[in-house]
């Protein structure tokens, strides 16, 4: 009982020690080779493939990395060369640099040429490599249902527990090997006797910690258990059976040393146990020494002065890493600066809504400029928003209090100094702000005040005047000022252009309200000409600022690692896309395609319009009832344009209901000037004011941001182009009737 208790305690201590191993060790001669490859130039994972496929500890590290950072399909993560083809080079490099490299003092003089240990690491590597090669050949020759790569990897790692014991307790393992040799015993049995466990059990513990494929873990565990591996009907032990056979073949021909000194099984017995041909197994055994010798040459296990060379390689690697660290530190400083700008941009843009006015944006910018750059008083005036000599202005006092003002532009000089009107510069304000100081109700020290332009599309749309707390450092901040000002100028330029277009829109609405009925040709021309003028202005004023904003947001997003900031930048791009859509809508309304009329049946137009309306409104079925009062013929119109117009009318009818399945009635009858279609709904209806503006572009009774208000405007425009008419009648809470008349010729 006492002996069993001691064994249990010893076993647990060894298992705990193995569990704490972060990485196993490799000989200096192996480390020299992968370090040399890292120092040669651009390191790739594939450059160490030839070594990793022959050295058990490297192979285990690579396969473990593949399981934690999945590389290659699941069914291929046991094949070392396939894994290395897909793993990231940086991950492989970090994994290899994490391997321990012991020196002679660490392992009882193992690498000393005068007194080699009983179980030398080089001999154990040769033995493991030979078992791997043999296992693969056995599978290829006699077990076609098994994976030769799986057999190879399992054979290479079958003694990984011995490598762990060499790292944990080198002296104790040396004594166990000595006893095994003296008694002619299996190392497995002597380990169990003294440690209460054995290398196969420890190897399985490590394999499961590394999440290696289960056939490999089972082979590591059972490669000494002939009775278990011989049991029929256990496919889980197929690879273990092959590794057991390969281990005995290798020990039989004496390649390397495994630390076991019991007699291996004969070739005939091995062949019978795995249901293989003895002659085939003998041929594999005969060719094995030469093939293994070639692979061992790759490892260069007899490299002279390996420890000294390893030290030289480590020193060279340290120098390279030091240089890389310096470069990374410099890049980190640049990234920190860029991050600060991005914080500035994110906070600034986060408070800029789609409906924000230029003066609100200017106030937001001035406050953040003062806080970000730690300046004194700030004054920002909008040069691009000049209204009859009046300048919208924002003043932020030294303590952060802000208020808006309207200043009078100077008569004897330009609002924006010529030197900064079309290019960025940090300008001394002494000779340029006399008129400004006279009007603002804060004190600006001319000696400490600087001017910067906020440029959009190559011209100043605003000027920022601010007091520097440390005027002598202005050169250090010039680049920072320019970066922040460029972003702010683009946003302000967009807002000012939008403000101008809103004024154009108001002119357009007034023009349309004053227009004569659509039946008179001249009444149609006047609002259309005004709209075309406005559309041209939109294209000129908005497209360039939109392109600048979108391009810069995209560049920032591509280099941004922070998810939240990248989402903010994506929101900017989305909003730009929305604004571009508004321009496209306006241009399409102003200059639609010329109609190409053909004779088309009314019912075909109605069917296509209902299908299109369903798509627009995202409903599977439009609840429409079609009633024909009398036989009607064909209409002479551009059917595509009329279908689009009618679909917009039906979509509006669907949206008038809280339930999209609300009924819609379409009545078709002859009229004096063609064929009339009445689209009736019983929805929310419209009051008189809404009804009057319903066909105006960009008018919508929906909340802001919900719809652009172009549905009925498009419909009326397209019907008009096809020489038809559109009339509206509506009663609040009772429904709407839209009557469309189309010509027959």
Please return the burial class of 581, using the count of CB atoms within 10 Å of its CB with bins 0-12, 13-18 and 19+.
exposed
Question: How many Cα neighbours within 13 Å face the side chain of 182?
Answer: 7
Contact 464, 416 (CB under 8 A): no
Two structure tokens written together for 234: 């256990």
> Given CA atoms 550, 551, 555, 556 in this order, what sign does their dihedral have?
negative
CATH class of 2-307: mainly alpha
Percentage of the chain lying above the pLDDT 70 cut? 81
Please determine whether the domains at 2-307 and 598-742 fall in the same fold group of CATH.
Answer: no
CATH number of 598-742: 3.30.565.10
Residue 541 pLDDT more than 90? no
Lowest-confidence pick of 134-143, 567-576, 700-709: 700-709
List all residues 6 or more positions away from 99 whose beta carbon is below 8 Å from its beta carbon: 23, 24, 25, 26, 31, 57, 58, 61
List all residues 6 or more positions away from 661 whose beta carbon is below 8 Å from its beta carbon: 619, 621, 623
Average pLDDT estimate for 650-668: 87
The reported pLDDT for the residue numbered 1 is: 38
Encode pLDDT of 681-731 as tens digits: 988 888 888 888 777 765 665 544 444 556 787 788 888 888 888 888 888
- Smallest CA-to-CA distance from 159 within 119, 193, 196 is with 119
Please return the burial class of 271, using the count of CB atoms within 10 Å of its CB with bins 0-12, 13-18 and 19+.
buried
Task: Note the residue count of the chain.
Answer: 745
Per-position b or e across 149-171, b if 16+ CB within 10 A of its CB: bbbbbbbbbbbbbbbbbbbbbbe
Map tokens 């999209």 to a residue: 660
The reported pLDDT for the residue numbered 337 is: 64
Q: pTM score, two decimals?
A: 0.51
* 349-549 maps to CATH 1.10.3470: no
What is the DSSP code (8-state) at residue 472? G
CA pair distance 534, 659, nearest whole angstrom:
38
CA pair distance 710, 647, nearest whole angstrom:
13
pLDDT band at 141 (very low <50, low <70, confident <90, very high): very high
Give whole-number Cα distances, 319 to 37, 314, 315, 325, in Å: 15, 9, 6, 10
The reported pLDDT for the residue numbered 522 is: 33
Encode pLDDT of 54-75 as tens digits: 999 999 999 988 887 766 676 6
Contact 299, 32 (CB under 8 A): no
As a whole number, the mean pLDDT across the chain is: 81
Encode pLDDT of 107-129 as tens digits: 444 444 433 455 788 999 999 99
Encode pLDDT of 210-225 as tens digits: 889 999 999 999 888 7
The reported pLDDT for the residue numbered 721 is: 85
| Residue ranges of domains in the chain | 2-307, 349-549, 598-742
- Smallest CA-to-CA distance from 436 within 427, 424, 444, 426 is with 444
- Smallest CA-to-CA distance from 433 within 424, 441, 444, 425 is with 444
Residue 654 pLDDT more than 80? yes
- Smallest CA-to-CA distance from 296 within 134, 127, 126 is with 126
The reported pLDDT for the residue numbered 670 is: 85
């Amino acid at each position: 009982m006492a002996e069993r208790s001691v064994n249990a305690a010893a076993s647990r201590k060894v298992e705990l020690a193995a569990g704490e191993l972060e990485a196993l060790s490799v000989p200096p001669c192996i480390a020299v080779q992968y370090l040399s490859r890292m120092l040669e130039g651009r390191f790739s994972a594939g450059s160490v493939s030839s070594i990793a496929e022959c050295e058990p500890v490297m192979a285990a590290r690579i396969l473990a990395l593949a399981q934690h950072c999945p590389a290659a399909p699941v069914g291929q993560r046991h094949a070392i060369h396939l894994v290395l083809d897909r793993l990231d080079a940086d991950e492989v490099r970090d994994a290899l640099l994490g391997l321990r490299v012991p020196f002679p003092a660490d392992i009882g003089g193992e690498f000393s040429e005068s007194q080699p240990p009983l179980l030398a690491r080089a001999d154990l590597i040769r033995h493991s490599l030979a078992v791997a090669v043999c296992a693969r050949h056995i599978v290829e020759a006699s077990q076609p249902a098994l994976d030769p790569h799986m057999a190879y990897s399992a054979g290479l790692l079958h003694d990984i527990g011995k490598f762990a014991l060499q790292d944990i307790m080198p002296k104790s393992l040396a004594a166990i090997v000595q006893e095994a040799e003296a008694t002619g015993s299996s190392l497995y049995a002597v380990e169990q006797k003294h440690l209460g466990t054995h290398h196969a059990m420890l190897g399985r513990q490590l394999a499961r910690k590394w999440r290696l494929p289960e056939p490999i873990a089972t082979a590591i565990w059972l490669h000494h258990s002939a009775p278990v591996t011989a049991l029929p009907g256990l496919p889980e032990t197929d690879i273990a059976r092959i590794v057991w056979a390969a281990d005995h073949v290798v020990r039989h021909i004496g390649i390397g040393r495994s630390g076991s000194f019991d007699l291996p099984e004969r070739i005939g017995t091995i062949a019978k146990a795995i249901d293989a041909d003895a002659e085939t197994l003998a041929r594999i055994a005969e060719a094995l020494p030469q093939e293994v010798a070639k692979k061992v040459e790759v490892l260069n296990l007899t490299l002279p002065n390996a420890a000294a060379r390893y030290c030289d390689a480590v020193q060279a690697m340290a120098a390279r890493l030091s240089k890389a660290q310096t470069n990374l530190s410099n890049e980190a400083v640049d990234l920190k600066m860029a991050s600060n700008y991005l914080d500035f941009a994110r906070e600034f843009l986060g408070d800029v809504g789609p409906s924000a006015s230029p003066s609100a944006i200017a106030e937001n910018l001035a406050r953040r400029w003062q806080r970000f750059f730690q300046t004194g008083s700030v004054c920002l005036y909008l040069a691009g928003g000049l209204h009859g000599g009046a300048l919208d202005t924002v003043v932020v006092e030294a303590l952060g209090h802000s208020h808006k003002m309207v200043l009078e532009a100077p008569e004897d000089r330009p609002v924006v100094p010529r030197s900064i009107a079309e290019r960025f510069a940090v300008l001394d304000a002494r000779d340029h702000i006399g008129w400004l100081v006279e009007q603002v109700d804060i004190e600006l020290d001319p000696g400490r005040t600087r001017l910067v332009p906020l440029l959009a599309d190559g011209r100043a749309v605003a000027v920022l005047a601010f007091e520097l707390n440390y005027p002598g450092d202005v050169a250090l901040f010039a680049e920072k000022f320019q970066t922040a000002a460029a972003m702010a100028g683009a946003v302000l330029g967009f807002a000012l252009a939008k403000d101008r277009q809103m004024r154009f829109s108001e002119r357009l609405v007034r023009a349309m309200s004053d227009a004569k009925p659509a039946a008179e040709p001249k009444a149609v021309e006047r609002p259309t000409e005004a709209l075309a003028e406005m559309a041209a202005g939109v294209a000129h004023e908005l497209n360039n600022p939109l392109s600048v904003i979108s391009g810069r947001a995209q560049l920032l997003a591509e280099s941004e690692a922070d998810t939240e900031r990248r989402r903010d930048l994506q929101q900017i791009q989305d909003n730009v896309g929305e604004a571009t859509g508004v321009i496209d809508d306006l241009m399409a309304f102003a200059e639609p395609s010329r109609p190409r009329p053909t004779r088309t049946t009314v019912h075909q137009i109605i069917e296509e319009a209902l299908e299109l309306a369903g798509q627009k409104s995202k409903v599977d079925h439009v609840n429409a009832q079609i009633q024909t009062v009398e036989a009607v013929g064909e209409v002479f119109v551009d059917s595509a344009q009329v279908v689009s117009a009618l679909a917009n009318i039906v979509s509006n009818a669907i949206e008038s209901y809280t339930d999209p399945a609300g009924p819609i009635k379409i009545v078709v009858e002859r009229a004096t000037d063609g064929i009339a279609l009445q689209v009736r709904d019983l929805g929310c209806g419209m009051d008189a004011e809404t009804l009057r503006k319903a066909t105006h572009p960009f008018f919508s009774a929906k909340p802001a941001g919900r719809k652009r208000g172009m549905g009925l405007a498009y419909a009326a425009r397209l019907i008009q182009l096809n020489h038809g008419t559109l009339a509206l009648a509506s009663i609040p809470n009772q429904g709407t009737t839209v009557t469309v008349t189309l010509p027959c010729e």
